[in-house]
Structure 1
Amino acid sequence: MAGDGAPGSEVFDASGMSVAIVAASWHTQVMDGLVGGAQRALAEYGVTSSHLVQVPGTFELPVVASVLAQQGWDAIVALGVVIRGGTPHFDYVCKAATDGLVRVGLDHGVAVGFGVLTCDNDQQALDRAGLAHSREDKGYEAAAAALLTARTLRGDARRTP
């Protein structure tokens, strides 16, 4: 299972953080699960300032995430899904989204939670979507990673000797 070996993390008070979720619109069932998982994480961490922006597809995530970063959000959670088909479209969209979201984080010094599923088929996406029958909750994981990274960028993380 892809989630084996995932690091554990403690839930902390992130009530002072502002978080934007930018989510693709393709594959509604999967996206509803990813967005729900991200929102559950934000609630569990105590985030009270959040905003959801939907974009047409995964390819559009980086440009909107960049604008959100310029607006001063503490963290951005990018959610999308790309399912392999019979053309190279999968490779182009996955690379563009990944490279673009990395660039957002580096260019703006903002935490970006990467919740883009890159799957071979619909079942793999459903297994990772955080739905009642899913094995993993990648939306939750992306939001938690964004919050942990934002805490580190703020200098709030516990330091080890």
Structure 2
Amino acid sequence: MAGHGAPQTDTHQLKQAGEAGMRAVIVAANWHQQVMDGLVAGAERAATEAGIEYKIVRVPGTFELPIAAARLAAEYDAVVALGVVIRGGTPHFDYVCQGATAGLMDVSLLTGKPVGFGVLTCDTEEQALDRAGLENSSEDKGYEAMSAALETAVTLAKNQSLDGLI
């Protein structure tokens, strides 16, 4: 299982995000609706548990996540990017995955805002469903992406001296 060895969510830091009045935006692709519904629900659950205000913005696909994240990062303490790309018979999978990954990393580094990476890159639809946080899923990558973004936002807020390092 891909999630083996993953760290536990720091619920104390999640609550600190809410206490600090942090806000997050969930930027989610529209492809593979069932998977995306699960990812968004997981991210919303983490945001609700943290007690933060959040907004959901939908974009056509995973490739469009970086531009939306870049525009929205200025308004929020954390961005959560959710998408899914399922391997097909052409190199399209590789280009979309590489572009989205590099684009979202650039957003984080250029804006100084944490971007929770909830983009599933799977060989099959079954793998995506198993990571989508649905009733029979073994993992909840939407929840994990929101938790990671908020924990990072809290860490950065506590350590303002890190601002000049990037």
Shorter-chain TM-score: what band?
over 0.9
Aligned pair 1:9/2:9, yes or no?
Answer: yes
Structure 2 match to 1:110: 113
How far apart are residue 152 of structure 1 and its match?
A: 1.1
Q: Which residue, 23, 28, 33 being the options, matches 1:23?
A: 28
- 1:41-91 superposed Cα distances (whole Å, 9 cap, x missing partner): 0011111x2110000000000000000013x20000000000000000000
Q: Secondary structure at the match of 1:127?
A: helix
Aligned pair 1:148/2:127, yes or no?
Answer: no
Structure 2 match to 1:87: 90
Q: Which residue, 32, 43, 50 being the options, matches 1:45?
A: 50
Mind listing any 5+ residue stretches in structure 1 that lack a counterpart? none
- Looking at structure 2, the residues matched to 149 and 125 of structure 1 have their Cα atoms a distance apart, in angstroms, of 25
- What one-letter code is carried by the residue in structure 2 that aligns with 1:131? L
How far apart are residue 135 of structure 1 and its match?
A: 0.5
Q: Secondary structure at the match of 1:9?
A: coil
How far apart are residue 9 of structure 1 and its match?
A: 2.9
- What one-letter code is carried by the residue in structure 2 that aligns with 1:31? M
When the two chains are superposed, the root-mean-square deviation of aligned CA atoms in Å is 1.2
Check whether the contact 2:10–2:151 (CA below 8 A) recurs between aligned residues.
no
- Looking at structure 1, the residues matched to 150 and 41 of structure 2 have their Cα atoms a distance apart, in angstroms, of 16
- Looking at structure 2, the residues matched to 104 and 153 of structure 1 have their Cα atoms a distance apart, in angstroms, of 16
Q: Secondary structure at the match of 2:11?
A: coil
Count of matched residue positions in the alignment of Structure 1 and Structure 2: 155
Q: Which residue, 37, 55, 60 being the options, matches 1:56?
A: 60
Mind listing any 5+ residue stretches in structure 2 that lack a counterpart? 161-166
- What one-letter code is carried by the residue in structure 2 that aligns with 1:54? R
Q: TM-score, normalised by structure 1?
A: 0.94
Runs of 4+ in 1 over 6 A off after TM superposition: none
Q: Name the structure where helix makes up a greater proportion of residues.
A: 2
- 1:105-133 superposed Cα distances (whole Å, 9 cap, x missing partner): 00000010000000000000000000001
